Amino acid sequence: MDIGERLRQLRLQRGLTQEDMADRCELSKGFISQVERNLASPSIATLTDMLECLGSSLSQFFSEAKDEKTVYAPQDMFVKEDAEVLHGSITWLVPDAQKNAMEPILIEMDEGGESYPLPPHEGEEFGYVLSGSVHLVTGDKKTRVRTGCSFCIHPRQTHYLINAGKTRARVLWVSNPPIF
């Protein structure tokens, strides 16, 4: 870890000059410059003071931010086959999506397939029919959703999908918060 460069970046993020930083920390501008160029090493106490002036702490400063994965390949995804009710599969497109604000899945249903009924809950759900045709059932209401069409619901009633055709239906379905 390049401590000097990391301190410099933190100082610049706060919009401070070396002189501003020196005034806040009661250090010299020259010392700040030397630390940032790794020509001088501050004591732990001095580094702690510098970080406090920058609105940070030792633990925050030295914690390495893990690169968050943003792209997922098919081998990262989890697929559950269901021949009895769904007559197809559910693919969780983002691993561990339950810890996120939204959870996207891909549902594939053959003729006669249905998704599992979902109880009413807080939040929203969005679906986009990639291929085929489905019925969106919300309570007693059944609405046909065709290829290229989408739906957005605030699920106040039990709801689910039924394959409405003779071909495989593929639906991208996103829930916020995660419920699948």
> What domains sit in the chain, N to C, each tagged with a CATH number?
3-62 (1.10.260.40), 74-176 (2.60.120.10)
* Residue 86 phi, psi (nearest 5): -75, -30
Cα separation, 25 vs 164, in Å, equals 69
Residues 6 or more apart whose Cβ sits within 8 Å of residue 155: 118, 120, 121, 123, 124, 125, 138
Interval 35-58 mean pLDDT: 93
SS (H, E, C) 66-122: CCCCCCCCHHHCEEEEECCCCCEEEEECCCCHHHCCCEEEEEEECCCCECCCECCCC
Other CB atoms within 10 A of residue 37 CB: 11
Report whether pLDDT(87) > 90: yes
Report whether pLDDT(166) > 70: yes
- Among 9-23, 33-47, 54-68, 77-91, the range scoring the smallest mean pLDDT is 54-68
Q: Residue 168: name the closest of 86, 121, 109, 93 by CA.
A: 109
Q: Residue 175: name the closest of 110, 111, 115 by CA.
A: 115
Write out pLDDT tens, residues 109-161. Answer: 999 999 999 999 999 999 999 999 999 999 999 999 999 999 999 999 999 99
